[in-house]
Structure 1
Amino acid sequence: MADPMTHIATLRRPRLLIRAARHGQANYSRERTLARVLTQPQTSADDVLNDLMQTEARIEATRTNGDIAYSVARHIEVLIALMGEAALMLQRNRTPEGI
């Protein structure tokens, strides 16, 4: 898969889903949320993001197909985790000013 940050930046989802996920990001708990949404334990931040992107893509396909199994709550939870992990990765990748 291409650069995770580029992929996340180009996601296009309904505005209401994104707004709900942004609102939920304030209470994002990495330990609590990742335990529920990851399909298997991951060892690196890139692996976590890739797992979340694949999970979100499956949920989005379920939504766009009109499948009765679609859960808006689960979709928002995965989007919160995806946005939270992306923000954490950006913080880790920033270098201190003056160096």
Structure 2
Amino acid sequence: MRHLSRPRLLVRAARYAADDYSRSRDLKRILRGPVPLRPASALHKLVEQEQMLHEAKTIQHASYSAIRHVETLAALIGEHRLYAATHSQPQPSRPSLSLV
């Protein structure tokens, strides 16, 4: 996600929208199809969709929708957060010390 270079306003709007992102509510509508079971699969589809939106924006295509772009980026951020949360390395447990 760090390699994406997008306009600051677009990214700020997407980050704000990502705070309200709900996978069960939003992903089917944004992907316009079935919801992938795994966040990694959803991320792949969202990256492809976002790249198409970015290209449409770049060439100023009439079909470009800034709202759709923000929604897609917000879902991308939300799915990335979910993926990171489920794939984080567990911290080794430290023995607890107590004073007697």
Please indicate, yes or no, whether the TM-score normalized by the shorter chain is above 0.5: yes
Q: Which residue pairs with 1:44 in the alignment?
A: 38
Show structure 1 runs of 4+ deviating over 4 A: none
Q: For structure 1, list consecutive stretches of 5 or more residues without a partner in the other structure.
A: 1-7
Name the residue aligned to 2:97.
Answer: none
Specify the structure having the higher radius of gyration (Cα): 2
**TM-score (norm: length of structure 1):** 0.86
Identify which of 19, 23, 28 aligns with 1:26.
19
Of 13, 19, 22, the residue aligned with 2:6 is 13
* Structure 2 length-normalised TM: 0.85
**Alpha-carbon offset, residue 47 of structure 1:** 1.3
Please tell me the root mean square deviation across aligned C-alpha atoms, in Å.
1.3
CA–CA separation in structure 1 for the residues paired with 2:68 and 2:12: 15
Conserved? CA contact 1:39–1:51, under 8 Å: no
Alignment correspondent of 2:47:
53
Structure 2 alignment gaps of length 5 or more: 94-100
C-alpha distance in 2 between matches for 1:28 and 1:40: 17
Residue 93 (structure 2) pairs with residue 62 (structure 1): no
1:75 and 2:69 correspond:
yes
More helix by share: 1
